[in-house]
Chain A
């Protein structure tokens, strides 16, 4: 089971990506738990999480957010712009897996 949390400005635009990632995971038979939140609430949503991904529009907060995530031992990085824009669930799922090392 791979637990992924996505963070963007309001948690809205990313919810579309969540659905696509779930579809991609179902297609390749990976069990996932993916939810999107506003980046301001990140510290409340890191327990038991394998990987935290940031939307590129909040990429400017990367350093600060990586510190927050690192404190709970969660790897965190910014989703590549093209994959985010094209809502490429498969690529983002692969990106998350690589980060989580699973």
Chain B
């Protein structure tokens, strides 16, 4: 069984993970991280959980500026993702990458509506204005209402969570087609004597013209035939089902089981699973942030807006949820094992790894524990290594579902933020409380298994001393 997994399943899985598309998505999305963290800090500042502090920020009069900073960082991550994916694809293929990124951005913008609303006139000659996502409904309500004119503008609805898969599609297609053009050397060639810099400016011209025109044609067809933009089709038929799977309890169980299983074979599970789970978590995060914002705009208080996220289509599995529960103290939630090793172990091996593991465990890093104990390829520790994160994540999921832990509302923290602090910042005391429970549970889950391994090591050490 182990051999089968290691020799057949794992290589096939790795082949998938290392395909150009998956690598482009995984590395390309990393470019959104700084904006997400910076945006989350703004959001935290103008939506402080402590009322006195929130009032103080409001009295300073800087809330509109913080809010502007937030929407211009966090709420444009789909745009950045399009650039990143196209850029990374071209870079990995060895071509000048920024041109591909720029083309991807243009393609993404072509796929989304170029209007933010429409002016509707009824048969009686009355006019009203409808937002972009309710034009059809407004037309029906006005029985026979016609679109008098469209209100043009960059439609922000699609620039973050809702547009994420569209952005990935734009990035992948642009990166791929661009690289094909470069490989086949289809580009405008300058006569000899033209400086390299000038020639380079023309390199991207043919692929840009082809790719962008293709996108415009697709947009035109969708609008002409179905009165729908391509991004709406992608959202409805690809993104919504994907988000549903990632946000379900079975989806979360699958992710959280795969991560320790891959680590068991020595592979960085979080990175590998992240290539699929990360985009979903980010979209869900941005969706929740948008729902929260709508609540605030409708006049709800901070707490009421958070409480309303769940019933308005919010998601449990988000980037913040991941950073708070997935790998606190490191993949496999190994803090229990580390505490045992540092303070209770008899064998020299375990004592030493325990000491090494304590410091980095606080920041959710545990490679010394994984490779030093080792947990990798050690069947004796596989059960607690899978069980501890499952207990933590299933618990967090269910507690969010029944309303004890609040839904995440856009604030997130870097994954290296120490547990309990991370829960407190991103979720609130309920999140921190569950993290504390999970950390304590980790100790008892690992304890019997750690004792057994410790006894083995001690016997080995005594044997080699006697010899």
Chain A residues at the B interface, C-beta cutoff of 8 Å: 8-9, 12-14, 16, 40, 55-61, 64, 81-82, 84-87
Q: Let me know if B27 and A57 touch, CB within 8 A.
A: no
B18 to A85, Cβ gap below 8 A? Answer: no
Contacts of A9 in B (CB 8 A): 268, 270-271
Q: Is the CB of B268 within 8 A of A58?
A: yes
Q: How far is the CA of A88 from the CA of B374 in the complex (A)?
A: 14
Tell me if A81 and B368 are in contact (CB < 8 A). no
Q: Are A57 and B374 in contact (CB under 8 A)?
A: no
Residues on A with beta carbons closer than 8 Å to the beta carbon of B356: 16, 86-87
A4 to chain B, nearest CB (A): 18
Q: Is the C-beta of B371 less than 8 angstroms from some C-beta in chain A?
A: yes
A21 to B341, CA, bound (A): 24
Contact of A86 among B10, B17, B30, B372 (CB under 8 A): B372
**Contact size class for B?**
20 to 34
Chain A residues near B217: list those with CB within 8 A: none
> Are A12 and B353 closer than 8 Å at their CB atoms?
no
Set of chain A residues within 8 Å of B366, measured between Cβ atoms: 13
Chain B nearest CB, measured from A6 CB (Å) = 12
Question: Mind listing 11 A-B residue pairs with CB under 8 Å?
Answer: A40-B27, A40-B30, A55-B367, A57-B267, A58-B271, A60-B267, A82-B371, A84-B367, A85-B353, A87-B356, A87-B368
B268 engages A81 (CB within 8 Å): no
The answer to the question of B416 belonging to the interface, with a C-beta cut-off of 8 Å to chain A, is yes
Cα–Cα, bound, A19→B207 (Å): 47
Expressed in whole angstroms, the minimum distance between the Cβ of A85 and any Cβ of chain B is: 3
Q: Which residues of A contact B403 (CB under 8 A)?
A: none
When the two chains form their complex, are residues A86 and B368 in contact, meaning their CB atoms are under 8 A apart? yes
In the complex, what residues of B have CB within 8 A of residue A82's CB? Answer: 371-372, 374
Which residues from A are CB-within-8-Å of B221? Answer: none
Shortest A101–chain B CB gap in Å is: 26
Interface residues of B in 253-268 (CB under 8 A from A): 263, 266-268
Tell me the minimal C-beta distance from B202 to chain A in angstroms. 26
Are the CB atoms of A57 and B18 closer together than 8 Å?
Answer: no
Closest B residue to A41 by beta carbon equals: B27
| Cβ B360 vs Cβ A57 within 8 A | no
B376 at the interface (CB under 8 A from A): yes
